[in-house]
Structures are given as structure tokens and as C-alpha cells.
Homo-oligomer: A and B are copies of this chain.
Amino acid sequence: MFTDEYFMKMALQEAEIAFEKDEVPIGCVVVSNNRVIARAHNLTETLNDVTAHAEMQAITSAANFLGGKYLVNCTLYVTLEPCVMCSGALSWSQISKVVIGARDEQRGFINKNLSLHSKTEIVSGIMENECSSIVKEFFKAKR
């Protein structure tokens, strides 16, 4: 039951909430022991704040829940590959695992030759089409 698809679907629901708010539709959840301890979606326009990416909010929220700044035994499910800022934050958090929906060749951290913390396992391509489609649809509507 608790597959990567199961939790990525929740991240995608967060992305859909962002879409409805006219925000770039990216969402994520943080899971610890099969329990969702944080969920967030991009809010850069609503909050007028470039730092309000889904991942940044989820990291802060999960740490708050855990009462410690390191996200030990936690997995982040995010619909789009994290940017440089978010990859840096994930590195500092020492999170155990990051599961990515769709790649972001242009703005994602992987093509910048950045890595996360040495402890962090990275999985990519979970529900890739759905995660990619919602972003494409958003920008198509904007044009």
C-alpha cells in the first residue's frame, strides 16, 4: 500500500492546489515511518517570496513537527526536481531519501552537478508523466 506512487499522488494533489491558486504547480510531502508529517505547495506568488517553494516550506514544517532540524528517516516526495536553492536546503537537512516525479533539465540541481547529502538516496521518475503534464499545462495556459 505505501508505495512511492501512493505518496507521490499526495504530492501531486498539493501541486493541483497550487495550480488552482495560479502558482507554478509543484507540490511535495515529507513522510516518516509511512506517515505524512508535512505537505506543501509552491506559494511564491501568494506570499510574494521567491523562497516559498514547496520543498522549503515542507523542510521547515517537517523539522518543526520532529522538533529537530535534521530530517532523519524521512523521505521527501516532490513532483518536480528541486532547484539549486531547494537542493541546498535538502543537503543541510540530511534527509534520508528524495523521490522526484519529473526531471527539470533546465533549473534542476542534477544538471548543475550538485549532489545532496552523502546519506541521501535519490529516486526519480515516479509518476513522471502526471508530474510533468501539470507544469506544462500551467505554462501553456499562461502563454
Contacts and interface: CB of A to CB of B under 8 A. Distances in A.
Contacts of A60: 49, 51
Interface residues of A, number: 28
B48 A89 contact: no
Copies of this chain per assembly? 2
Interface stretch (A5-13, A26-34, A63-71): A63-71
A122 interface: no
Given A49-B69, A112-B114, A89 B85 contact: yes
Contacts of A45: 69
A61 to B, nearest CB: 10
Contact of A84 (B49, B56, B69, B114): B114
Closest 3 CB pairs of A and B: A85-B88, A84-B88, A50-B92
